[in-house]
Structure 1
Amino acid sequence: MSDDDRTEPTPAAYDPQGRPFLGYHPDDGVAVYGPRPTPLHDEHVALGATVTGFAGWAMPLRYGSDVAEHRAVRTAAGLFDLSHMGEIRVRGAGAGRALDRALVGSLSTLAVGRARYTMACWPDGGVADDLIVYRTGDEDFLVVANSANAEVMLGQLHERCAASDVEVLDETTTTALVAVQGPAAAGILAGLVGDDAERDAVVGLRNYASATATLTTEAGPVPALVARTGYTGEDGFELFVAVEHAVALWRGLLAAGEPAGLVPAGLAARDTLRLEAGMPLYGHELTRFVTPYDAGLGRVVRLDKTDDDGAPLDFVGREALAQRAEREPERVLVGLEVQGRRAARQGYAVTTPDGVPVGEVTSGAPSPTLGRPVAMAYVTPGASAEGTELAVDVRGRAEPVRVVPLPFYRRS
């Protein structure tokens, strides 16, 4: 095939999904596109990060030692690039009620400046995605979706809110998201907020609350929505900024946090941190074949939501979830403490000590904090009691495990 026969990339050198043009395939000359870089991609490369494809994005896996990054978050602070997450704005008269019908939680009752963990379910009750929803105004909500589900959730929110007079806007490509997590996070962030009132508001944020603030950096002021949320089991903040301010914010936080022991941290540390904290991950503990009740998260489902006439509100999945709420569970999500040194990984079979299958591992890894492997797994109710001795088939060898309470780690 000659150069003239090749399919040219788009003028901006990105495909419709935003993935950058990498070149032509040597065999058939077809244009090849790669994972989408975040606004901080060059910063990660300059810091020597190992970059990997994740949900269509090029993301830092680690900068050096993922164990060291994990421990830094537990003892000082870590800085994460979360710009791969999906940001979807829902705004307009009745936006809260529209989200009540689209999601399993009650968003219309959320106070301005607060956030809520919730889920979108399919009509059969299976989880479409788990979400954090921020109410940033009377009729203005920011829905944060997992990167792997962002496009699906954008389409679903358009569809589910179509009957309401609201706008559903994709802000993923115009928003950068950076998280500072760890016991030193509040002090680091406070040092960059110049206005006294804004600093007090940020430091005084309750968990799952947000406030606007302007951070001072060498490159100039950076307006941000600052939220006290996280996915590590530590205190911490997530900062939403316009993409043009991403580099200034990243560099400013690194410089301010260096004396306190802050380090950049990648996906590997983020995964072991959330595992120790017993936090579910979509594609592992949560899937379209799992209901919130299966995952032990039935509390997020508000079957008591009502419409303006006081009748039960018919949100997507309500009928199936109401039926599921009345049934005894067929499987229970539990923590497993591995007695040996070999980690139990997703998909490994869980059995009784004599080999009878009782479940399957959803997530597992060595725990840097506990010094031994841990895992989460779905097992039958009869095998779910704390202290139950079980086994995991690790590549043909039965590794003894014990059922323990979740989370494995809770900060003091």
Structure 2
Amino acid sequence: MKASRVLVKAKKAVPTIRASNRQQRAALSTRSACSSLSSTPASSPSTIISSRTLPRQHALPTSSAALPARWNRRSYASAPESSSEPLNKTPLYDLHVAHGAKMVPFGGFHMPVQYAGQSVGQEHHFTRSHASLFDVGHMVQHRFEGPGALAFLQRVTPAGLQSLSPYHSTLSALLWPGSGGIVDDTIVTKLADDSSFYVVTNAACRDKDLKYLGEQLEAWRGDGLLVVEHRVLEDQGLVALQGPLAEDILGAIVADPKAANLSELYFGQCRYVTVKVAGGRQVGDVLVSRGGYTGEDGFEISIAPADAVAVTEALLAAAHPDRLRLAGLGARDSLRLEAGMCLYGHDLDDTTTPVEGALSWIVGRDRRGETVLGSGAFHGAATVLAQLKPKSKGGSGVERRRVGFVVEKGAPAREGSEVLDAATGEAVGVVTSGCPSPTLDHRNIAMGYVRDGLHKAGTELAVLVRGRRRKAVVTKMPFVETKYKKASSA
């Protein structure tokens, strides 16, 4: 990686890394406008249509007696190896095996962690320099439709969806009533109009999310509000094409490049395209969304189950291995950490609010005044909105905040490592994700929570790694400059 992409600064002789696009808010933008929930009774009840739920994942606590109890209640995103329930397969399972993938349990699915002939580090670097294709078909894809779809989604998330333009997306979160804790993080896409939305949630939270959505829809119906239909897109294919060559590679298989107009499809936008596959066949209604989880330019591509393999193979055939390769969960994890992206069950959980999780920006500007649910507020609004204002300004503030760290050389600070006050040795936080950064010459980076007041960039702390204290400095994220294609930079 060129030195010009990362600015290295020193404070009190301890190096920190500062990327030029320092906040994760460069991820999908929330657009503001005045909105309110309709109280018009529906002529028919809300409905939920879904099937085949996965086993609920077990919560594995990471505890330390020195830390506040709520900091230690954590759940994990990957399925336990010992689960007696059969694992599911994405539509690309056989393709992975044919390409020599090492398959592991993750989120209730058999998923590739890496591929034969490549190390995790090589897959990581190839994504940054060329392009990689990730199977993310284990994620849960939803459709919410009907005259009450927008209002319902604005009840269960803090997103400002009313002014979101058609075929635009925003990162958001499903929230618990009262506490404002994060049920799951999600991406919400408005399709043609306010009555049609495409939503993606995490595989490991599937059972919990479907139960939550079912209960919320039942309550919605009980309130006599506008009809909402919820459908899970079972077995729908989803692949993430990520890297600087992504646009050229996808462009090689679109049937009508002028209609697809990928060069003017910007981050947070999507459109339906038709693509060419083997045998001269064309596949239509492929939803292409510009974005991803790696910090690189790229696309997430939603494909009907019957065509998922054909479209994936078409991408691989069009690009050849010198430009595009398959990559697995290992590289995806290190890429997302460098980009400052959260992993639910590790960096976020049911006890974490958006403010604590450094995700205040997902609360739409037009959602910050109402705290009464029946008047247009989102779940947990009273709690979350009070936290947005620090105690010094009359709000409730928060006790902890999610931050990034750079840790001195040596063993990396992994999940569960205690964060200590550098002067007193007092436990003041916990690491939730950590690894040596492949892009930054294996410098140790990490993400975690620290006591409020210790969250400012440059704050010197320590982490306990294998019983030894190591210096750590709070550092702004992302650690590596993001490369999203935005309209303003085109």
Residue 98, structure 1, aligned to residue 152, structure 2: yes
CA displacement 1:95-115 (0-9 Å, x = unmatched)? 111211121112232221111
Letter in 1 for 2:216: R
Report 1:333-412 matches (<5 A). 333-354=402-423, 355-371=425-441, 372-411=443-482
Distance 1:149 1:259 in 2: 34
Distance 1:304 1:18 in 2: 36
Q: What is residue 5 of structure 2 aligned with on the other side?
A: none
Q: What is residue 268 of structure 2 aligned with on the other side?
A: 208
Residue 130, structure 1, aligned to residue 193, structure 2: no
Closer/same/farther in 2, CA of residues 52 and 352 from structure 1, 3 Å limit = same
Distance 1:346 1:252 in 2: 38
Q: Which consecutive unaligned segments of at least 5 residues does structure 1 have?
A: 1-14, 20-30
Letter in 2 for 1:157: L
Q: Structure 1 residue 132: deviation in Å?
A: 0.3
Distance 2:289 2:204 in 1: 22
Letter in 2 for 1:324: Q
Letter in 2 for 1:215: V
Between 218-227 and 236-245, report the one with greater CA deviation: 218-227
Letter in 2 for 1:57: F
Residue 298, structure 1, aligned to residue 354, structure 2: no
Q: Structure 1 residue 151: deviation in Å?
A: 2.9
Residue 232, structure 1, aligned to residue 294, structure 2: yes
Q: What is residue 314 of structure 1 aligned with on the other side?
A: 377
Q: Structure 1 residue 341: deviation in Å?
A: 2.7
Q: Structure 1 residue 49: deviation in Å?
A: 0.7
CA contact (8 A) 1:193 1:214 kept: yes
Closer/same/farther in 2, CA of residues 110 and 203 from structure 1, 3 Å limit = same
Q: What is residue 112 of structure 1 aligned with on the other side?
A: 166
Q: Indicate the RMSD between aligned Cα atoms, in angstroms.
A: 2.3
Q: What is residue 30 of structure 2 aligned with on the other side?
A: none
Residue 187, structure 1, aligned to residue 239, structure 2: no
CA contact (8 A) 2:251 2:257 kept: no
CA contact (8 A) 1:181 1:237 kept: yes
Distance 1:34 1:324 in 2: 42
Q: What is residue 13 of structure 2 aligned with on the other side?
A: none
Residue 155, structure 1, aligned to residue 211, structure 2: yes
Normalising by structure 1, we get a TM-score of 0.88
Distance 1:234 1:196 in 2: 22
Q: Structure 1 residue 400: deviation in Å?
A: 1.8
Q: What is residue 339 of structure 2 aligned with on the other side?
A: 277
Distance 2:434 2:216 in 1: 35
CA contact (8 A) 1:87 1:143 kept: yes
Q: Structure 1 residue 199: deviation in Å?
A: 3.0
CA contact (8 A) 2:403 2:447 kept: yes
CA displacement 1:320-369 (0-9 Å, x = unmatched)? 22232222331122111111131111111011235221110010011100
Q: What is residue 81 of structure 1 aligned with on the other side?
A: 135
Q: What is residue 47 of structure 2 aligned with on the other side?
A: none
Distance 1:304 1:183 in 2: 35
CA displacement 1:360-398 (0-9 Å, x = unmatched)? 001001110012111011112333232222221112111
Q: What is residue 387 of structure 2 aligned with on the other side?
A: 324
Letter in 1 for 2:265: L
Distance 1:120 1:80 in 2: 25
Report 1:24-103 matches (<5 A). 33-63=85-115, 64-103=118-157
Letter in 1 for 2:210: L
CA contact (8 A) 1:342 1:399 kept: no
Q: Which consecutive unaligned segments of at least 5 residues does structure 2 have?
A: 1-50, 56-82, 389-394, 484-490
Normalising by structure 2, we get a TM-score of 0.74
Letter in 1 for 2:331: A
Distance 1:344 1:85 in 2: 28
Letter in 1 for 2:110: A
